[in-house]
Amino acid sequence: MRILMIAPPGAGKGTQGALIAAHFGMPHISTGELLRDHVARQTALGQAVRKHLDRGELVPDQIVLDMLREAMVAAKAAGGGFVLDGIPRNMQQARAAYEMGRELDMTADVALHLQADDGELVRRLLARAALEHRSDDTADIIAQRLALYYEVTSPIVSWYRDRGILVSVDAMRSAQEVGREILAALEAMRPLLDHVPAQARLSIDLTGLGEAFGATGSPVGTSD
């Protein structure tokens, strides 16, 4: 199973991506973690990346795509499955990732879309900033990142919906509740992926199923 994550900052795609990868025993490809590793080691790439992160800007596409190709080649060698977290963040990246996937016979089966409102996203990101002292989680930068998401990233949701691989999930709950719902949906889908052609699939909206998976009212969650 090959899954990519689409979500605004703070919706929990890192948390859920790691859970999915562990459950299915496949690599969790987090471009954010790879980039932060370069920043922490102060490599030449890391120094260039830091300037963009500190301003709340997207890292240039070519840097991210070069990293993605290397990670996808490694994932194919390890068995072919992956959870991709952090790309695509714009239509150019989405199309480039799709072409790369076709070239490697590694196109995504599922585009997992986590949805949460801005107030909850800001709360989560500020809480994370207090714990981790991350320079890219100030109030001003958070506002810029959310605005950038809606302007640049959000339109790709329609593209994946048209392809029939979009699965939308309500992320306004605890990480445990959201995770249970995601894993149940993916387990139900997994046997069908080899038998239903991509062009014949339909997108799935699970955002109204919160009560069935233990929604308790006030949202509690983790950031990505």
Q: Is the pLDDT of residue 215 over 80?
A: no
- C-beta separation of 224 from 13 below 8 A: yes
Q: Is the pLDDT of residue 133 over 90?
A: no
Domains, the chain: 2-210 (3.40.50.300)
Q: What burial letters (b/e) apply to 124-144, b meaning 16+ CB within 10 Å?
A: bbeebbeeeeeebbeeebbee
Q: What share of the chain is helix, strand, coil (3-state, %, to 5)?
A: 55, 10, 30
Do you know the residue count of the chain?
Answer: 224
In angstroms, the CA 34 to CA 81 distance is 19
* Percent of all residues in the chain with a pLDDT value above 90, rounded to a whole number: 50
- C-beta separation of 90 from 153 below 8 A: yes
- Mean pLDDT score across all residues of the chain: 85
Q: What pLDDT shows up at residue 211?
A: 47
In angstroms, the CA 101 to CA 56 distance is 28
End-to-end CA distance of the chain: 21
| Cα dihedral sign, 208-183-157-119 | positive
pLDDT, tens digit, 9 for 90 and up, residues 155-209: 899 899 988 899 999 999 999 999 999 999 999 988 887 766 665 566 788 776 5
In angstroms, the CA 145 to CA 151 distance is 10
* Confidence category of residue 221, pLDDT binned at 50, 70, 90: very low
Q: Is the pLDDT of residue 5 over 60?
A: yes
Q: What pLDDT shows up at residue 208?
A: 66
Give the H or E element holding residue 30: strand 28-30
| Residue 33, token pair as written in the block | 């973690």
pTM (2 d.p.): 0.80
